[in-house]
Amino acid sequence: MRTIEELEAKLAEPSEALVRDIRRIEGDIMLLGVGGKMGPSLARLLLNAIRQAGVGKKVIAVSRFSEAGLQERLSADGAETIACDLLDDAALQSLPDVPNIIYMAGTKFGTTGNESFTWAMNAYVPGRVAEKFRRSRIVVFSSGNVYPFTPVGHGGASEAAAPAPVGEYGQSCLGRERIFEHFSKTYGIPMVIYRLNYAIDMRYGVLLELAKSVKAGKPIQLAMGHANVIWQGDANAIAIRALLACETPVNVLNVTGPETVSIRWAAEEFGKRLGAAPVFAGEESPDALLNNAAKCHKLFGYPRVSLLQMIDWVAEWVEAGGATLNKPTHFQERKGKF
């Protein structure tokens, strides 16, 4: 993959399991907050899976559509698009009722200094959405940031771990979960809480940041010495298939790859591919923000794209000067300030 077009095509390739599950999901599917990093590729993956399944479902893509041209591109791909600011309650109430919702709206970066907006988006809007779509199944995007740091050798926090988020962003994500959970109990709404750590494609993500640092000879901070990653195409497929796992009370699901990835090891792998020795700063802490996704893998199988395949692809992308989104993950942040 050397071009955006090739990358988008790879992200939008549905697996046989996804196509099979699309046939089992009853009704149309609405994507709320489709304008973020993952939303457009999720929409295209869903559209392709529907075509391959030979079923007549609509995909309704909802966003403010602040990115120029995105609404037109998704419409051309076959989605029904609606421009809507979810903070505008009249606009929210005007949305059509559909049986399946994938909720991707929220904010992270810029939280520090703009905490009130973060809480409005991450904890107020969910209540309005849950009231509006109380007769739907809802997959709620959340974050592994709701967990405390866990010892590196313990395999990451499972869904049974008590949330203890570090910083206001993580706290607001837990607020989003609790609000949806409340309305799930109140109205009997089947839900999945989808806790993600960290989606990867060539244009952004933990691996891209490591590869760019290695190539530039920039020191790599090791205090957050371990992380989880998953190919964005796999993460998107799981989000869609999770509509079949919605339950009441809510079903909590960690979504990431199977490995606890050593940042030092990954940087050294990039060094081999890019012909540059990584430069490290500091030492690994004994704990990190880590998820255990064994439950997810039991339900949906292991990701199709392996860690080494992601490293190969990212290295090739960086070597070729591929386009990036300039949206750092801040995965090395240990104080929760985003």
Mean pLDDT per 10-residue section of the chain, whose length is 338 residues: 91 98 98 95 98 97 95 97 97 98 87 84 97 98 96 96 93 97 98 96 95 97 97 98 97 98 98 98 96 98 98 96 85 80
* pLDDT value of residue 327: 77
76 in a structural domain: yes
The whole-number pLDDT of residue 336 equals: 76
- Does residue 129 belong to any structural domain of this protein? yes
- The model carries a pTM of 0.96
pLDDT recorded at residue 135: 98
Largest CA distance in the chain: 57
Tokens for 134? 């109380």
Which residue range is the domain that position 57 belongs to?
A: 4-201+229-257+289-304
Question: Residue 196: phi, psi to the nearest 5?
Answer: -105, 135
Integer Cα distance of 292 and 10 in angstroms: 26
Tally of residues, the chain: 338
**Domain-embedded: residue 281:** no
Partners of residue 284 on adjacent β-strands = none
C-alpha 165 chain-centroid distance: 18
**Looking at the domain assignment, is residue 190 inside a domain?**
yes
- Residue 332: predicted pLDDT: 86
Asked if residue 142 belongs to a domain, the reply is yes
Q: Can you give the pLDDT at residue 337?
A: 76
- CA distance between the termini of the chain: 31
Tokens of 284: 């690994």
Judge whether 170 and 107 are in contact, CB under 8 Å.
Answer: no
**Residue pointed to by tokens 């109990």:** 185
Residue 325's φ and ψ, nearest 5 degrees, are -95, -10
CATH number reported for the structural domain that contains residue 123 in this entry = 3.40.50.720
pLDDT at 147: 96
For the chain, the domain total comes to: 1
- Domain assignment present for residue 35? The answer is yes
Residue 330 in any domain: the answer is no
Look at strands 230-231 and 280-281 and give their pairing: unpaired
Domain membership flag for residue 53: yes
Both tokens of residue 334? 């240990």
pLDDT for 109 equals 63
Using CB atoms within 10 Å of the CB of residue 69, give its burial: 0 to 12 exposed, 13 to 18 middle, 19+ buried. Answer: exposed
